Structure 1
């Protein structure tokens, strides 16, 4: 099913290592075979964090440690996104390419940042990962944008220390900056940190959505962020989005009456 061999299934399900060894001795097993999604047994095992299985597959010397599936994801990407530090280390020791990008141009750093996996981020930084790499898909984000939207303050802090660009807009249709991403997620502490770093409070998203951080926060019902952005000089009557709505209109549409009052008090007129 789905083009998966018995070895694919065993590596994904984490069956007894003895059974996997047995599979490897039966006939001429293709250790690096690809399923319908382009994933290899190594990729499946890395995704699940099965250290012993990964070690066994690597020991065959018949696997491509940096093979990409149909979505451009490598075993390292999957291990990093899943927070599997030991597997990440195994793959790096075997020469996994840390900045490799595929069809969706995602890197392992972006995967780790989106999951808030700080220890993996530290390890990737040690081996020269590109901190400001962007992805070229519709939901394309930098590592900083991914961490900001997830509310991972420690990761945001570490990436900023490493020189992450705070005002870069995401690739693709969203076009969000890290500040807009944090505002969307309702993460006040991250918003505060990004403002300290010089985030542009009135920048509009570069994508087709085109909303400012204030409009995003108002529409999401995040009162504390709305108040903080207003303190920072957010333009209360700026228009954005597909229908050119204001923060007041976004709050009203979402039924956030407290935010409507807050915006009115700040001078919102439409």
Structure 2
């Protein structure tokens, strides 16, 4: 909530700002942020995870948030439609399409629901986009875990930093001019597993309220399937607890079932599913 001598601007969750004349306000009370839990709604979880990887630019359209980051990752270059766009659907789609094309990006939405074939708002939006010719990409799941129930294996010692340095960046050879800016678009902790002076695994962890968002978990291809991924994840979960997080989440693509099984073995469970809808033409 923001105010000056003549107006009050209220920022309700799931909607855009609402401006009122100050004379119309009788009482003002600051409401603490809603606590997001593993049982919270899909919209609440989408808003939370978006804060851990927002991209370099965020534009509001009612309750929808349009994220842009120079094209690095769909997550940072897509609209996250939570709540109400506060305009007819076709008008909203035209507006976001123009916004992304103005930035040289393909129009894209991240559509989420517990069941994308059901009658939840996300599933109904998905069906409407399909009917309008928007293509599906990267089916994935958001998985969560209560860190109090996390494995108690002795954590692997990792090197930690609050910036993605050259050694950390070198574990994943992917190159993109906006990569570092997108990674740094939210406060995060970067872990590196060094063996003999060489980085063999790395990960990123964004702390948002009571949550740790794990991402960019990478193991040297020559060392995969030897337990490094499990050890890295356990060490990052232990660090999250040290930093005061109660829960952790991560996002994993359907095309990586081995990673899904690993995270399930560590206590992660699917909160909801999502995929992207892109306007290709």
Tell me which structure has the larger Cα radius of gyration: 1
Q: Judging by fraction of residues, say which structure has more strand.
A: 2
Q: Judging by fraction of residues, say which structure has more helix.
A: 1
State TM-score, norm by structure 1: 0.28
State TM-score, norm by structure 2: 0.27
Report 1 or 2 for greater relative contact order, CA contacts < 8 Å, sequence distance ≥ 6: 2
